[in-house]
Amino acid sequence: MYDVVIVGARCGGSPLATLLARNGAKALLVDRARFPSDIPHGHFIHRHGPRRLKAWGLLDRIAAVAPPITEQLIDSGDFPLVARDLAVEGVALGYGPRRARLDKVLVDAAVESGAEVRAEFNVDEFLFGGNRVAGTLGISDALRDADLLAAAIAEGLNGRRPFQDALADYERQRNAESAREFRQNLSAARFEPVPAEFLRIRQAVRSDPAQATRLAMARVGMIDPQTFFNPANLQQLLGATG
Ligand SMILES: Cc1cc2nc3c(=O)[nH]c(=O)nc-3n(C[C@H](O)[C@H](O)[C@H](O)COP(=O)(O)OP(=O)(O)OC[C@H]3O[C@@H](n4cnc5c(N)ncnc54)[C@H](O)[C@@H]3O)c2cc1C
């Protein structure tokens, strides 16, 4: 008999199981997948995630496989908005491990905390008894939400509050944390003058979709920056537009 059964053992479910188990709940964590395994999304841990991992004692394991990312550039128009040195008390803005690595760390932590994990276990039906399924919860920031949700479920399990009240508070707190995070990001950002040459390059690629794509890919590291920012290419590009 379990206090909680959690379906899905990746970045939402595993931390939830860890926190509930650390809180004394008997938690069963199931997933149809086998671990470690990759999925093609959710590779950048940012927003509340890094701070949560640190608080749970797991950030070192992630930092060991993915370097810290401390710079952010938002460029949606005529001027880039750049924030640098985005690290607070050793916690960087973000980390980008493959999901196979991130999820393995999180599943391992759940097991170490006392949760029972069953991989390759597909849940395809709910059995309704005296209790009922009361609704669904949207996950917007999996690690942060797991933290807040674990606290809310623990309050319900301990009988300190009715589940409905605890879950309503969870939603309020989640929304308030999102608003606070956006304000923090804005205060960390600052405008920087754009080098004149870069403005010319950007102007030049506006009429050339293939070059514009290569510029974007070079800037985010999807291709080697030198394949775009090499003198021959720039000369051809800038020469073509005068
Ligand atoms: C294209 C894309 C890019 C994204 N990029 C980012 C990003 O860079 N950074 C970020 O923070 N977020 C990103 N997200 C969001 C992020 O991926 C999700 O918030 C996060 O994966 C949610 O975690 P989760 O554990 O709830 O679900 P998932 O990571 O999707 O895991 C769900 C698990 O539940 C299991 N499961 C589902 N149903 C059953 C069942 N019936 N029985 C057994 N097991 C089941 C699945 O096998 C799976 O392992 C992205 C999302 C998308 C779609």
DSSP state letters, 17-79: HHHHHHTT--EEEE-SS-SS---SS---B-TTHHHHHHHTT-HHHHHTTS-EE--EEE-SSSS
Band (208; pLDDT cuts 50, 70, 90): confident
Contact 192, 80 (CB under 8 A): yes
Of residues 6 and 42, more confidently modeled: 6
Distance 42 CA to ligand 1 centre (A): 7
Residue 179 scores a pLDDT above 90: no
Q: Is 7 helix (H, G, I), strand (E, B) or coil?
A: strand
- pTM score of the predicted model: 0.74
CA distance 166 to 153: 7
Over range 151-160, report the average pLDDT.
93
The pLDDT-based confidence of 241 (bands split at 50, 70, 90) is low
Pocket test for ligand 1, best of 41, 69, 139, 144 (most atoms within 8 A of CB): 41
Domains, the chain = 4-69+94-188 (3.50.50.60), 195-241 (no CATH)
Nearest CA owner, ligand 1 atom 28:
10
| Helix or strand run (H / E) with residue 81 | strand 81-83
Asked if omega into 36 is within 30° of 0 (cis), the reply is yes
Q: Which amino acids bring their CB within 6 angstroms of ligand 1?
A: 7-8, 10-13, 30-33, 41-44, 122-124, 139, 142
| Average pLDDT value for residue range 153-181 | 89
Please give the distance, rounded to the nearest whole angstrom, from the Cα atom of residue 41 to the centre of ligand 1.
Answer: 7
Rounded distance between C-alpha atoms, residue 18 and residue 57, angstroms: 11
Mean pLDDT is lowest, of 41-50, 68-77, 164-173, for 68-77
Residue 220 CA to ligand 1 centre (angstroms) = 23
Return all residues near 46 (Cβ < 8 A) that are at least 6 apart.
93, 94
Rounded distance from Cα 12 to ligand 1 centre (Å): 8
Per-residue pLDDT band for 56 (boundaries 50, 70, 90) equals: very high
